Amino acid sequence: MYHFKLLRGIVTDLRNAISFSTILPFGPAKPVSDGDVARAGWALPMAGLLVGITGAAVYWIAREVGLTSGPAAMLALAATVLLTGAMHEDGFADTADGFGGGRTRERKLEIMRDSRIGTYGACALIGSLTLRWSALEAIGEPKSIAAALSVAHAAARAGLPAFMWLIPPARSDGLSAGAGRPPGRSAALAFALGALCLIFGFGPSKAMIGVILLSLVGLMLAWLATRQVGGQTGDILGAFEQIGEIAILLMAAALPHTELRP
């Protein structure tokens, strides 16, 4: 009975994480309540792995039909953006607009809640897409692309529960506040799963570099978010994912392709 209940809880967490992170209708029939997403935080790397594998499959198909690495990389990126509903891109753009365009904490939060995109947000989106595309185009080889995309999406989401656990919400409403604070055990498990993905994809030495990069991203963004708006929001979490994904893909592009594990 205990094992059945444990298995049911794991499946529910996976469904909540995938439903939260993508547009796929995998959520449970019962509406997600406060705390459900936080408890499912450990499964966010698994949802990211699904997104990365989808992008890798699109890249492989594009190369099989004769496209070069540049257009194939753009199609792979488009697939991941569509699958996630551009949720993280939207958060990154809103964060850039808020941090760059507001003078007071209240004004920054107001700008971040505005659905319209400003100059800072547009530049952030262009930079994110360009850096990720150029990294994929530089890697080129389909098996290495599969490893890089899968690991980048999983690892970039692995630090989100820890970030939510350490940094309080900047406001009492919104996506992050509604999701709740993840349990410490869930945050630790998510981080461990992300580290395992890095080891499997790149090997132990490069995985250590990846962990350091993601930790630096988290520390930098935590300092900036606390200084700018007094905590984290759903938009800032999106920015964390985007910067983390960029960092891992650039690291993968900087390595000799022979060191990337398929």
Residues 198-231 pLDDT 10s = 999 999 999 999 999 999 999 999 999 999 999 9
| CB-based burial, 167-177: b 16+ in 10 Å, e otherwise | bebbbeebbbb
pTM of the model: 0.90
How many Å apart are CA 12 and CA 10, to the nearest integer? Answer: 5
Please give the mean pLDDT across all residues of the chain: 88
The pLDDT, as a whole number, for residue 119 is 93
- C-alpha distances out from residue 143 to 13, 132, 139, 146, 169, Å: 30, 17, 10, 5, 39
The pLDDT, as a whole number, for residue 1 is 59
In the block, which residue shows the tokens 């941090």? 99
